[in-house]
Amino acid sequence: MSEIYQHPIFGILLTVIVFFAARALRSKIKFVLFNPVLVAITLIILFLVILDIPFEDYNKGGTYLSFFLGPAIVALGVLFYEKYELIKHNIYPFLLAVGCGGLISIASVSLISIAMHAPDVLIRSLVSMSVTTPIAIEITKITEGIPSLTAGVVIAVGVFGNAFGSGFLKLVGIKSQTAVGTALGTAAHGIGTARAIEIGPLPGAYSGLAMCVNGILTTLISPYVVLWIVGSL
Amino acid sequence: MSPLRSRLQLLKAFLWIFLFLGIGELIRYVSNVPIPGNILGMILIFSALKFKLIRLKDVKPASDQLLKYMVLFFVPYGVGLMAYFDFISFYWMMLCVIAVVTTLLTLYITALVQQKLEKHE
């Protein structure tokens, strides 16, 4: 029986079937914790644990899917070009806002980690916490953290931002919908952007762009921050 | 447009995306910059569109598909968390504090700067 699990098609089929089932569930029940990615990951882990299948066997197929993260990141550049026209007149305030947010995110992760005496691997894995999952994984490979830990935390941050982001911003006195969009994209990447699109197409565009810009910014800065704090890469 | 023609355009669009990915990886390989090749590819394809070296309709069929299913592609990394149960159960408090404080702070600062500086038509 174990030969079947070791075939790449097992991991591919399991992921695709569970993912589309989770998406169908989400379209029936609009509850934020039923985020398709979150549900799919939880169900697949349960399945593998219960049947005692090692992650390595599953990932023989999983790597075929992960491979497409590369071209998907390139596709973000196309998205950026499409949305760029919409916000051209506000480009400088927008870039400054994303820049401040991105830097605050890196600084906050670093300072809290130091204050709580977190192990180095935590800073290495979480420094890219706010950016979109595929880019965060790439950054973690450079900073030599644990890519799976990054993916887990980044997805959790996205779901948190999606659920509470706009409510929190209203509470602290943010009235501009485009500012809410920029903030959701900067802090909670694609899953936050999904929320911004619900608010409106323009906040959605700001959010998508903010996700791309913060991805580039964090890629450029975080290796040096990690090098500075931890002392090695 | 005939179905065959639109299939061919989709194929061509994927080739463009992979070409830019390849150029990005090549630059990363020869120059040793600490930027992943796929992110270089993303910057390059944006520049190529901006300077009209390629047209949006050449690449859009493929980029739309890739973005639509992007979340599916990172599911295997999320499943990889199962190998770190002990690590997470030991550090869960720290992880929660870092994630929640950082996210709220980032949301607030970003929104505040944008709201203060943006122009309205």
ipTM computed for the complex: 0.89
Residues A219 and A105 in one domain: yes
| A55 and A85 part of one domain | no
Residues from chain B contacting residue A187 (CB–CB below 8 Å): 103, 106-107, 110
Better pLDDT: B76 or B35: B76
- Judge if B63 and B43 occupy the same domain: yes
Same domain, A186 and A88: yes
Residues B22, A70: Cα–Cα separation, whole Å: 10
**CB atoms inside a 10 Å sphere around CB B20:** 28
Query: Judging by beta carbons within 10 Å of its beta carbon (0-12, 13-18, 19+), is residue A184 exposed, middle or buried?
Result: buried
Q: Which residues of chain A make contact with B18, given a CB cutoff of 8 A?
A: 71
A178 interfacial to chain B (CB closer than 8 Å): yes
Same domain, yes or no: A31 and A88: no
- Are A87 and A61 contained in the same domain? no
Interface test with B, best of A16, A68, A78 (most B CBs within 10 A): A78
Q: Mean pLDDT throughout B89-97?
A: 93
Residues B44 and B84 in one domain: no
Q: Which of A49, A67, A85 is the last residue of a domain?
A: A67
DSSP state of A59: H
In Å, how far is A129's CA from the nearest CA of chain B? 8
Asked if the Cβ–Cβ distance from A130 to B87 is below 8 Å, we say no
| Closest of B84, B86, B47 to residue A55, by C-alpha | B84
What average pLDDT score do residues B12-26 get?
96
Confidence class for position B115, pLDDT limits 50, 70, 90:
very high
Q: What is the pLDDT of residue B121?
A: 57
Q: Compute the Cα dihedral for A103, A104, A109, A115 and give only its sign.
A: positive
Are residue A143 and residue A30 in the same domain, yes or no? no
Same domain, residue pair B40 and B69: yes
Same domain for B25 and B6:
yes
B64 and B90 share one domain:
no
Is a pLDDT exceeding 70 seen at residue B64? yes
Asked whether the beta carbons of residue B108 and residue A183 sit closer than 8 angstroms, the reply is yes
The pLDDT mean for chain B works out to 91
pLDDT of residue B74: 83
For residue A153, the model assigns a pLDDT of: 93
For residues B56 and B90, membership in a common domain is answered with no
Q: Find the range with the poorest average confidence among A119-133, B8-22, B60-74, B97-111.
A: B60-74
Residues B3 and B59 in one domain: yes
- CB-based contact B43:A97 (threshold 8 Å): no
Is there a single domain that holds both residue A77 and residue A109? yes
Domain count, chain A: 2
* Residue B7 shares a structural domain with residue B36: yes
Average pLDDT of each block of 10 consecutive residues along chain A (233 residues)? Answer: 82 95 88 84 95 93 92 90 87 95 96 94 94 92 93 91 92 95 94 87 90 93 91 72
A chain contacts of residue B57, beta-carbon cutoff 8 Å: none
Q: How far apart are CA B19 and CA A70, in angstroms?
A: 12
Q: What is the pLDDT of residue B1?
A: 60
Please report residues of B whose CB lies closer than 8 A to that of A163. none
CB contact under 8 A, A80 and B34: no
Domain's final residue, options A20, A39, A67: A67
The predicted pLDDT at position A4 comes to: 82
Q: Quick one: which of B76, B97, B94 has its CA closest to A122?
A: B94
Domain that holds residue A220: 72-230
The answer to whether residues A177 and B105 touch, using CB atoms and an 8 Å cutoff, is: no
Of B33, B53, B73, which residue is a domain's last?
B73
Q: Does A29 lie in the same domain as A9? A: yes
> pLDDT higher for B74 or A172?
A172
Reported as a pLDDT band with limits 50, 70 and 90, residue B78 is: confident
Total Cβ atoms within 10 A of residue A37: 24
Residues near A149 by Cβ (< 8 Å), separated by ≥ 6? Answer: A125, A126, A140, B81, B84, B87, B88
Instruction: Compute the distance between CA of residue A20 and CA of residue A98 in angstroms, rounded to an integer.
Output: 33
Question: Do A135 and A196 lie in a common domain?
Answer: yes
Do B50 and B16 lie in a common domain? yes
Based on the domain organization, do A186 and A215 belong to the same domain? yes
Question: Do A125 and A196 reside in the same domain of the chain?
Answer: yes
Q: Are residues A16 and A41 located together in one domain of the fold?
A: yes
User: What's the structural domain count of chain B?
Assistant: 2
Domain that holds residue B11: 1-73
**What are B113's two structure tokens?**
């700067």
